[in-house]
Amino acid sequence: MDLFSGREVLTVSELTRQIQDVLEAAFDHLWVEGEVSNLRRPASGHLYFTLKDEESQVRAVLFRPAARALKFDLEDGMHIVCRARMNVYRPRGEYQLILDYAEPRGVGALQIAFEQLKAKLQAEGLFDPVHKKPLPFLPSRIAVVTSPSGAVIRDILNITKRRFPSVDILVAPVRVQGAEAPAEIVEALRLLNETPGVDVIIVARGGGSLEDLMAFNDEGVARAIFASRVPVVSAVGHEIDFTIADFVADVRAPTPSAAAELVVPRRADLVQQLRTLESRAARAAERFLKLRRERLERLTERVRDPRRRLVDLRLALDERFSGLTASLVRRVRTDRERLRHLETHLQYLSPAVKVETLTFVLENLRKSMITGSFRRLEGLRSRLAVLTAVLDSVSPLSVLARGYAIARTIPEGKIIRRAQDLAAGDPVGINVAKGRFNAVVTTVEEE
């Protein structure tokens, strides 16, 4: 017996399909609230997370179009209320919520989006005062980005014409509310920055709810205002309304009418100011001229008569001329003496003079040598005479001349000094002063 005969047995797919049909039909449109958990942001742009409360949880998904339409950034832990439909994912037999709208529970989505964008742009420095550009003192052309049919543009035109009629107003018509408004405002700012002669831009609209002002809380509008090379005045809503545009703009006006008064000075005030300045300038010029005149008078009193000054200068000139002449004379005299000295020195150094001097010295030396030679010769001659006399005195001839004779042996010729060297009969030779003769010894006598 077949246990399952007569019974309806479903496959898992059939069961899942039937559950899908029932659930998706029963929960085609519902509102659910819960806490966001396990939020994932894949590259596809879809958002996957879990929606939970204290006891249960359910998977949820926001596909990219719905995620991009959110006015705030979804975050873990955020308590939201969402519009969804039930979906059964048959491959895993799981059910999940497909969301097409969500907003924070308690605080509105727009307010959350406002705070998030404000914090983001502030962190990037778009609100930094260092980037604020000053407004021109007297603009010649003002551009107004606003609705051309609203009361705002009429108020601005009336105020500017009343305060300074010659100011040129250029209106850039845009929608200031709705989904298309941010793009139109961004494009208007771009075009005005390329338009020559625009001195300042007013971005304006009247008051409204937070939803009405959302165009001025748009990130693209904020960045276009920040990038503007022309100063931008934000005049959106009433005095108590603040938008992102107010924080980014160079100047925030509490109302559009106040913006016109900030940008355009009152002509009558300027005229009065000019008259005041003219009066001050005139008084200042008068005081200046008076001071200069008094100073000129003081200087005039200090200035001496030019003729007296001329006399003094002439006397001084004469004195200096005399001194200069005397100085030149002294200088010429000194130079002349020096020249004479140099000439003398040069003459002394002349070769001719030197030859003459040396010749004179040489002549003196020659004379001295001759004189000396004569003197020495005379001395020698005298000495020779003395010596001659001495020699003559000791010469044998002198002895012979005095009558003595010199006896010599024959033939030896020896001088006979002793008688005993002779014997009787020895021949001897006798030398006398005048000649010589021989003799024979006849006797010898010894002593």
pLDDT tens digits for the chain (447 residues)? Answer: 566 666 778 888 889 899 988 988 888 889 998 888 889 999 999 999 999 888 889 999 999 999 988 878 888 888 888 999 999 988 888 899 999 988 887 656 677 778 888 999 999 999 999 999 999 988 999 999 999 988 899 999 999 999 988 899 999 999 998 889 999 999 999 999 999 999 999 999 987 777 788 899 999 999 999 999 999 999 987 767 789 999 999 999 988 999 999 999 888 888 898 899 999 999 999 999 999 999 988 888 777 667 777 777 888 888 888 889 899 999 999 999 999 888 888 777 778 878 888 899 999 999 999 999 999 999 999 999 998 888 877 777 777 888 888 888 888 888 888 888 888 888 999 988 888 899 998 888 876
DSSP 391: H
- DSSP string across 72-140: S---TT-EEEEEEEEEEETTTTEEEEEEEEEEESSS-HHHHHHHHHHHHHHHHTTT-GGGPPPPPSS-S
| Cβ-based neighbours of 377, under 8 Å, separated by 6 or more | none
| Cβ-based neighbours of 71, under 8 Å, separated by 6 or more | 103, 109, 110, 112, 113, 214
Beta bridge partners of 146: 173
DSSP 415: B
Structure tokens at 79: 């308590």
Number of Cβ within a 10 Å radius of residue 117: 19
Distance CA 260, CA 257 (A): 5
pTM of the model: 0.50
Distance CA 180, CA 375 (A): 153
Alpha helix stretches (DSSP H) within 264-395: 267-302, 306-348, 351-394
Distance CA 270, CA 276 (A): 10
Label residue 6 left, alpha or beta by phi (over 0 means left) and psi (-120 to 50 means alpha): left
Which of these, 130, 131, 78, lies nearest to 104 by C-alpha position? Answer: 78
With DSSP H G I counted as helix, E B as strand and the rest as coil, what are the percentages for the chain, rounded to 5?
A: 50, 20, 30
Both ends of the chain: CA-CA distance in Å?
227
Q: What is the pLDDT of residues 186-225, one digit of tens each?
A: 999 999 999 999 999 999 998 777 778 889 999 999 999 9
